[in-house]
Amino acid sequence: MRHLHCMIFLTAFLFSKTFGQTETYKKLLDTAVSPSNSLFVSSKPIGIIKLNTNKMWEYYNNYIDDSRLALDTVMFAQIIQNSKHADTTLWSDAELDRIILIKKRTDPVDINYVISKFSLQGNRQIKPYKKIINDFNSVPPADRRIYSYSRPVFDNSKQFAIVQWNNEHNGISSEGGIILYQSTEDGWAELGSVLTWKY
């Protein structure tokens, strides 16, 4: 009987810990990948994070200029190290539930996928999305505004994380950046950019 109680307690503990981690991770994704910035996102996460240990002080100065806050260099050194093994598991609709995921740049978006994902009902809800999707589909694939995001890379304490984003056009012009986030009681707060680029 005692063994059974121990097993029940252990199962409940592991479930609550996993649920807490999943909930925290989801809150970070909701903060980093906002539909107000990018409604259309590639289903393939960025796999190569543009962080280099040798450029630590360059990142530090960029961050100071952007945020006016001091950067914990030990924490950020851990993030740089951890970024060498970025997770490239495809995004799921459950993870990015407010986003339209794009598998191939050349494929048109299916309105039925969007209606189902966002549980749209009635013409009043569906009509605005039809226009957005028709506008998106009418643009040549190379010029479509499709954003890409890396999965979060954490420091060892899991209290800080970076997310890299990118937006390419025609395979020539590109803009992007790496944003630093901090865990708070209410979720995750954006602290500032450690790196940005545009060309």
> Which residues does residue 133 pair with via DSSP β-bridges, in sequence order?
none
pTM: 0.84
**Domain-embedded: residue 57:** yes
* Contact residues for 171 (Cβ-Cβ < 8 A; gap 6+): 142
Query: Is 24 within the bounds of a domain?
Result: no
Residue 11 backbone zone (phi > 0: left; psi -120 to 50: alpha; other: beta): alpha
Question: Mean pLDDT over residues 180-196, rounded?
Answer: 92
The tokens describing 127, both together, are: 């009509």
Q: What's the number of domains the chain is made of?
A: 1
18 part of a folded domain:
no
Per-residue pLDDT of 91-137, as tens digits, reads 999 999 999 999 999 999 999 999 999 999 999 999 999 999 999 99
Which residue range forms the structural domain that includes residue 76?
A: 34-198
Q: Does residue 10 lie in a domain region?
A: no
User: What is the spatial distance between Cα 52 and Cα 45, in angstroms, rounded to a whole number?
Assistant: 19
Q: Does 132 map to a domain?
A: yes
pLDDT of residue 81 exceeding 50: yes
In a domain, 28, yes or no: no
The whole-angstrom distance between residue 104's C-alpha and the CA centroid of its chain comes to 18
pLDDT the model gives residue 72: 84
Q: Do the domain assignments include residue 5?
A: no
At position 123, the amino acid (one-letter code) is N
Mean pLDDT along residues 171-180: 82
Determine, yes or no, domain membership for 6.
no
